[in-house]
Chain A
Amino acid sequence: MGDATAEFFDELARRGREPLLEKATGTLRFDLVDGKRIERWRVAIEKGDVTVSRKNAAADCVVRTEKSVFESLARGELQMLTAFLRGLMRLEGEGELLVLFQRVFPGPPTSRDKRRVAGSARRKR
């Protein structure tokens, strides 16, 4: 099992610009508890331009959760709202920023985009 969290943030950093976050401006910090360690990821968004760092600096929205929970989120096995309702994560600060940010998490690995299947049979009238 690889580190889905690191892959998720690395991919985000590599894209640099994320159209789904165009409306977002602000900073988020994810404090991921892994035994005694806390792994921190900080994301700064400026109208869709994303910078990722490991800085332990203040943020507009701070999410604290188990590393294992975030691994599931990053793999698309868990969805943010259910994690929140189940008490698996704690949120301080700007909630709306997190709602915007959850757009970039993947869907469940078992769900396939059927659009291309339909698209191939398109418009036969």
Chain B
Amino acid sequence: MTGDLVKILDGNTFVVSDAQGDIEASLTDPTGLFSFDTRFLSRWVLTVNGQRLNALSVDDLQYFETRFFLVPGTGTVYVDAKLSVIRQRAVGGGFREQLTILNHDEKPVELTVRVEAGSDFADLFEVKDALEKKGMYSARVEDGQLLLGYERETFGRATIISASTPAELDANGLTFTLQIEPHGAWATELQVVTAALLGSGGWRRAGDVARLRPRPSMERSLHRWLAEAPRVESDSDSLRATYRRSLVDLAALRFSPPIAGGRSLPAAGLPWFMTMFGRDSIFTSLQALPFTPELAATTLHMLGLWQGTRVDDFRDEDPGRILHEMRYGEMTAFEERPHSPYYGCADATSLYVVLLDEYERWTGDRKLVRELESEARAALNWIDEYADLKGNGYVWCQRRNEETGLENQCWKDSWDSISYRDGKLPGFPRATCELQGYAYDAKVRGARLARLVWKDDELAKKLEREAADLKRRFNRDYWVEDGEYFALALDSEGKQVDPLTSNNGHLLWSGIVDQSKAKSIAAHLVGPRLFSGWGVRTLAEGEGRYNPIGYHTGTVWPFDNSFIAWGLRRYGFKEEAAQIASGNLEAAGFFDGRLPEAFGGYGREVTKYPVQYPTACSPQAWSTGTPLLLLRTMLGLEPLGDHLVVDPALPSSIGVLALLDIPGRWGRIDAFGRGRIGMERTDMRKGRRARTRAA
């Protein structure tokens, strides 16, 4: 795979092609037209008079639309520059491709234009894991359309290809025979529509399936999205560009599940995770709350709708549990994968309550909190009744689906993410530390909502009692005395899994850390073992499994860093929070404002630039949300009753920062800050008081 793949997307439909606009996918290669976790085109190759084309330039017009300028011939010297070929492609229910050929010659030209088309109908899981298909393929020409099909028992998917001008169709593509006058042009529009076989009703085209109700046109929708978001004013060009990039990418990653009435929530990331994810949707909604609070409302609504109601070992479902991941492909349909939906995560259920409370604090929307009372109660109940596998008052994880379920049901979910200092892996169940923090926060926030909105004082008292008890035990059982930080997890014997990790930052965020221990945690987070200069590593240098390009064992995750910065602010460590914000935002500058899922944990002085993790997803929702949350932490935005407190602490690399028209229960408010905090950690002056005004 090369770096110059071109991606356009709309919700969970996306096209990945090369710089010529062609698709030539192999089973293991994530190029093609994908929709609902199925590849609908794996071959899409344009030739003119039998010749492949050469790209002059590619214009990304919008996240859903791109334009390729091409000339016939390959190689660096253009043999025939008398023709120009323009492919303009827009995604949506499949894609449309406007194909234009210009003749620059004084003579007419006769051309044979061919578009090769084919599909392997691979499930995204098959592409990811390189698996073989079990059904039957077909290709036929019917009513002026080429219909590529795949059927396995009652499961059917199809790609329907047609053109707006006369073409010869065959099982492998379309051929146009044409003549263009001197200085003339020829154009056609190719339509690629995805379809699914549904019951005895026959084929249903995307559009019917994807959106039961029409959405406003994509362009208008993007325009409104950008217009409604707060504005950033700053002397830092890089910061303004990063903010703009984040807003556009977040719009692109909005995803309307088939049964959401046109509402959208953040999908996790391209290309593997364009679907509904519990944890990712919640974290991204939290990051985006000061900017686009409606994402949080939809996330709460949709995840509540699919909340677990029964015990199902295959899906790791329990009553009250919030889903981990939902998929729509063939392997899910045939239960070769459990994502229908899969519930195997131990954090999203607590985080659901956290998001509900944070949403109310920003928006004052008590109606939604009342509507979701039973879901929130069920979630709180799950923590005690189902997550406490050992009956000792902690949240544990152990999958019941031993074959295809997830082993580590926390955000660091790769196989070797949880290890002792010496690199050995503990057995199951495991109780990672941040799960306890989230559960604590869920109880504290649940108590606030119980008292304020549900008018249930008994529940509030019970939750507060439990939270205090959890905090007391946690600070005793997880504290690593000789390192002065919290253990990554407890193993099944109750022993500490003891390396130094970024999880400590999430503990600050959740508030479970005793005040007396916070200073030492903050020092670790910006200390040399964890802080690379760009950000906080997932696992500290010096630990047994530390590897600067280990997925969860040494890389820097921007999303992780944004919550660490929030945690540091929560405990008053403004300087440290600004240091982390500064490193991550400077890293974003190297990625054109688009932070990847993860980058290498190499020290900044070693590589001079952040090294992208090899197979990282990009754009990815919670990386996209990172600059947003960092803006919040730098400005020290915190709702207090009907007011927004602004307490800026900016790194000196940013001179001035204004965030204008921040939406919330106060209407719209502006926040201002000036850069004061030097990154050499010598000059720590108090940030200037912010001015605020109601709009």
Interface residues of A (CB under 8 A from B): 19-20, 22-23, 33, 64-65, 76, 79, 81-82, 84-91, 95-96, 98-100, 103-108, 110-115, 118-119, 121-125
Contact B391 A88 (CB under 8 A): no
Contact B391 A87 (CB under 8 A): no
B contact residues, total (Cβ < 8 Å): 47
C-alpha spacing A82/B305, complex, angstroms: 17
Give A104's nearest chain B residue, CB to CB: B309
Residues from chain B with a CB closer than 8 A to the CB of A124 are 391-392
9 smallest A-B Cβ distances: which pairs? Answer: A90-B199, A107-B310, A95-B259, A85-B333, A87-B154, A107-B312, A111-B313, A122-B391, A81-B340
Contact B155 A85 (CB under 8 A): yes
- Whole-angstrom distance from the CB of A84 to the nearest CB of chain B? 8
Contact B332 A118 (CB under 8 A): no
Contact A79 B340 (CB under 8 A): yes
C-alpha spacing A124/B392, complex, angstroms: 6
- Say yes or no: is B174 at the interface (Cβ < 8 Å to chain A): no
- Whole-angstrom distance from the CB of A83 to the nearest CB of chain B? 9
Give residues of chain B (324-372) contacting chain A, Cβ–Cβ below 8 Å: 326, 328-329, 332-335, 340-341, 371
Residues from chain A with a CB closer than 8 A to the CB of B389 are 118
List, sorted by A's number, 17 A–B pairs whose CB atoms are closer than 8 Å.
A22-B374, A64-B201, A79-B312, A81-B341, A85-B333, A86-B154, A88-B199, A91-B198, A95-B258, A96-B305, A99-B259, A107-B312, A111-B310, A111-B314, A115-B385, A118-B388, A124-B392
C-alpha spacing A82/B312, complex, angstroms: 14
Contact A85 B391 (CB under 8 A): no
- Whole-angstrom distance from the CB of A100 to the nearest CB of chain B? 7
C-alpha spacing A76/B315, complex, angstroms: 13
Give residues of chain B (622-637) contacting chain A, Cβ–Cβ below 8 Å: none
Give B328's nearest chain A residue, CB to CB: A85
Partner among A95, A98, A112 whose Cβ is within 8 Å of the Cβ of B311:
A112
Additional 17 contacts, C-beta under 8 A, given A20-B309, A86-B154? A76-B310, A81-B332, A82-B332, A82-B334, A85-B333, A86-B333, A86-B334, A87-B156, A88-B154, A88-B199, A90-B201, A91-B198, A99-B305, A104-B309, A111-B312, A111-B313, A114-B311
C-alpha spacing A62/B261, complex, angstroms: 17
Contact A99 B261 (CB under 8 A): no
Contact A89 B391 (CB under 8 A): no
C-alpha spacing A85/B197, complex, angstroms: 9
- Whole-angstrom distance from the CB of A73 to the nearest CB of chain B? 12
Residues from chain B with a CB closer than 8 A to the CB of A107 are 310-312, 317
Contact A87 B196 (CB under 8 A): yes
Residues from chain A with a CB closer than 8 A to the CB of B312 are 79, 107-108, 111
Partner among A19, A76, A89, A114 whose Cβ is within 8 Å of the Cβ of B199:
A89
- Whole-angstrom distance from the CB of B209 to the nearest CB of chain A? 10
C-alpha spacing A99/B329, complex, angstroms: 18
- Whole-angstrom distance from the CB of A124 to the nearest CB of chain B? 7
Residues from chain A with a CB closer than 8 A to the CB of B515 are none
- Whole-angstrom distance from the CB of A116 to the nearest CB of chain B? 10
- Whole-angstrom distance from the CB of A82 to the nearest CB of chain B? 5
Residues from chain A with a CB closer than 8 A to the CB of B675 are none
Contact B199 A87 (CB under 8 A): yes
- Whole-angstrom distance from the CB of A97 to the nearest CB of chain B? 9
Contact B198 A87 (CB under 8 A): yes
Most buried by A among B329, B333, B334: B333
- Whole-angstrom distance from the CB of A91 to the nearest CB of chain B? 8
Give B317's nearest chain A residue, CB to CB: A107
Contact A86 B212 (CB under 8 A): no
Give B259's nearest chain A residue, CB to CB: A95
- Say yes or no: is B306 at the interface (Cβ < 8 Å to chain A): yes
Residues A106 and B374 in contact in the complex (CB < 8 Å), given A64-B200, A90-B201, A99-B259 = no
Query: Chain B 376-415, CB within 8 Å of chain A: the 1/0 string?
Result: 0000000001101111110000001000000000000000
Give B154's nearest chain A residue, CB to CB: A87
Query: Chain B 285-314, CB within 8 Å of chain A: the 1/0 string?
Result: 000000000000000000001100111111
C-alpha spacing A35/B386, complex, angstroms: 43
Partner among B305, B340, B390, B400 whose Cβ is within 8 Å of the Cβ of A85:
B340
Partner among B201, B212, B315 whose Cβ is within 8 Å of the Cβ of A95:
B212
- Say yes or no: is B153 at the interface (Cβ < 8 Å to chain A): yes
Contact A103 B200 (CB under 8 A): no
C-alpha spacing A95/B153, complex, angstroms: 24
C-alpha spacing A108/B340, complex, angstroms: 14
Residues from chain A with a CB closer than 8 A to the CB of B258 are 95
C-alpha spacing A95/B211, complex, angstroms: 11
Residues from chain A with a CB closer than 8 A to the CB of B305 are 96, 99-100
Give A95's nearest chain B residue, CB to CB: B259
Give B332's nearest chain A residue, CB to CB: A85
